[in-house]
Structure 1
Amino acid sequence: MLSRRQMLLGLSSLPLAGCAPGMTRRGTVTASPFGQLPDGEGVTLYTLANAGGAVARVMTYGAAVTSLTMPDRNGRLAEMVLGLDDLEAYRTRSRNFGTTVGRYAGRIANGRFMLDGREVRLETGNSRHSSHGGPIGFARRNWQARAAATGAALRLTLVSADGDQGFPGELTIDVTYSLTDDNRLCLDFQARTTRPTVLNPTHHSYFNLSGVPGALIHDHLLMVEADRFTPFGPDKLVTGEYRSVAGTALDFRQPKPLGRDIAATEEQMRIGGGYDHCFEIRGMAGRSMRRAARLEHPDSGRAMELWTTEPGVQLFTANSLDMVGRGGVVYRPHCGVCLEPQHFQDSPNRPEFPSTLLRPGHVFRSRSEYRFMTI
């Protein structure tokens, strides 16, 4: 008989969720220690490897992808994501490298919103607004993990208490990472709550398809399947409107180099300090799985497509990054690009945006795939 905590953590004989289409069972998962947190709790690093040699490493702290290697057009494997060397660096210096962000990705204005006629007040730390789920959001928690019996799949589970960072309801959330033999890194979210709450998790890897540590992403070609984006006001809070990308630096309807307009002086680029905007992906009705974006690095021949059920994708080009990263490499502004599938910022205060409300008895589900290929 399973205890309530075991059931909450998903430690049962039920199969792991994952990318069933095209997924094979030839991949493997291995585990190794990755240090201890200040309270003595251990952190584990899991290595997911597929039949072709691609590898994804995921640690329990932050449910974070610490490494992802993919081949170029000549079959040479190289690192695709920014990262750090050890747990202490992730705990004290990370800029959300590869993390699972939640409960709510992005900002909630003034750290408050109305829910069923009651004002909810969130923890904001030293900031005016709630950001990425609060000072101790999901990216700063040690998740429980269970590897699949076969194949390269790993489920991580977190139980977030009622009132955690001010959010109502005890929330039990799973994220399952699957690495398929056709080089897809798949993420499946599932969550339940004991009280009405809001939820907007996302994945926060910084990608660089060149395979050259510290290289800028200006030469990467990006296409986004979006005609509109959600603009910021001067305080970098969304205004609640949808605005056409036409005639702006945010027009990625046709592939263009990320560096072409990244220093544009138009208002939205000045407010964001570069690209830091959420796009409304076409075909949102029904939340079907569809392509959100395509990123290419012509020199290496690598390409990556993001497919998702989410209504939006946040484009962020590491505009203020300045630190020493993995292997002593200097990470500078624009040396990585995030493509974060999610709902829109401040949706709990913006009825014009798709709802992020989750009620008891309902199950939140979301799927995203980062599909790697060569050109």
Structure 2
Amino acid sequence: MNPTNHTYFNLDGHKAGSIEGHSLMLNASCYTPVVKGAIPTGEIATVKGTPMDFTELKEIGKEINEKVEQLRLTMGYDHNWVIDDWDGELRHIATVVGPVSGRVMHTYTTLPGVQFYAGNFVAPGSGKDGAEYGRRCGLCLETQYYPNAVNTPEFPSCVFGDDTEYDSVTVYRFE
């Protein structure tokens, strides 16, 4: 079982356009590389020295268009990051800062991974108050077990028995 939440955030407001100017920090020194179709390979790779490194606050757009295979496969960020020192307890895993509003969002979870999706495949469309939405107009921080964990014994298990109670906690806190 691997339920998650696919809420989009744009801390500068729903009419603000791209989230590429937002800054992001992830408490994750590794991620799960993918193959075509965004399915994890089963490998856990370091982010150090790659565009996947958000261990310090970094503008999302800084390296999103780099010509590296992982970003090419997903047209930007759409990967699972491995939470450092995961122990199942509620912990701070991410900070996002809106460049215009100055709003800050902190994310906390009890889960071992977070899918950072930069809205690479958001189709153009109209929203409330005449807002025009499109590619990278919002970002998602989807707390989760690693995708394809059911087929990857090296990943934390997302299989629970009939008599096992499942619960998880995710908190989005705004400043």
What range is the shorter-chain TM-score in? over 0.9
| 1:214 CA displacement | 4.4
Aligned match for 2:79, one of 277, 280, 285: 277
| 1:235 CA displacement | 4.2
Aligned match for 2:66, one of 261, 264, 270: 264
Q: Which has the larger radius of gyration?
A: 1
Amino acid corresponding to residue 107 of structure 2 in structure 1: L
| 1:328 CA displacement | 3.0
SS of structure 2 residue aligned to 1:358? coil
C-alpha distance in 2 between matches for 1:224 and 1:253: 5
SS of structure 1 residue aligned to 2:167? strand
SS of structure 2 residue aligned to 1:203? coil
Match of 2:148 in 1: 346
Aligned match for 1:219, one of 21, 45, 56: 21
Match of 1:300 in 2: 101
Asked if residue 327 in structure 1 is aligned to residue 129 in structure 2, the reply is yes
CA RMSD of aligned residues (A): 1.2
Amino acid corresponding to residue 142 of structure 2 in structure 1: E
Amino acid corresponding to residue 114 of structure 2 in structure 1: V
| 1:262 CA displacement | 1.1
| 1:314 CA displacement | 0.3
C-alpha distance in 1 between matches for 2:106 and 2:5: 15
| Contact 1:324–1:330, Cα closer than 8 Å, also in 2 | yes
> How many residue pairs get matched?
174
| 1:200 CA displacement | 0.6
Aligned match for 2:161, one of 337, 343, 359: 359
C-alpha distance in 1 between matches for 2:128 and 2:158: 35
C-alpha distance in 2 between matches for 1:356 and 1:284: 14
Q: Percent identity?
A: 39
C-alpha distance in 1 between matches for 2:79 and 2:5: 15
Deviations 1:81-137 (A, max 9, x none): xxxxxxxxxxxxxxxxxxxxxxxxxxxxxxxxxxxxxxxxxxxxxxxxxxxxxxxxx
| 1:212 CA displacement | 4.8
| Contact 2:14–2:131, Cα closer than 8 Å, also in 1 | no
| Contact 1:283–1:290, Cα closer than 8 Å, also in 2 | no
Task: Show structure 2 runs of 5+ residues with no match.
Answer: none
SS of structure 2 residue aligned to 1:204? coil
Asked if residue 291 in structure 1 is aligned to residue 92 in structure 2, the reply is yes
Amino acid corresponding to residue 346 of structure 1 in structure 2: N
| Contact 1:278–1:314, Cα closer than 8 Å, also in 2 | yes
Task: Show structure 1 runs of 5+ residues with no match.
Answer: 1-198
C-alpha distance in 2 between matches for 1:335 and 1:355: 33
**Displaced runs of 4 or more, over 4 A:** none
| Contact 1:276–1:316, Cα closer than 8 Å, also in 2 | yes
Larger CA deviation: 354-363 vs 304-313: 354-363
C-alpha distance in 1 between matches for 2:134 and 2:171: 27
Aligned match for 1:255, one of 57, 70, 80: 57
Match of 1:246 in 2: 48
| 1:298 CA displacement | 3.5
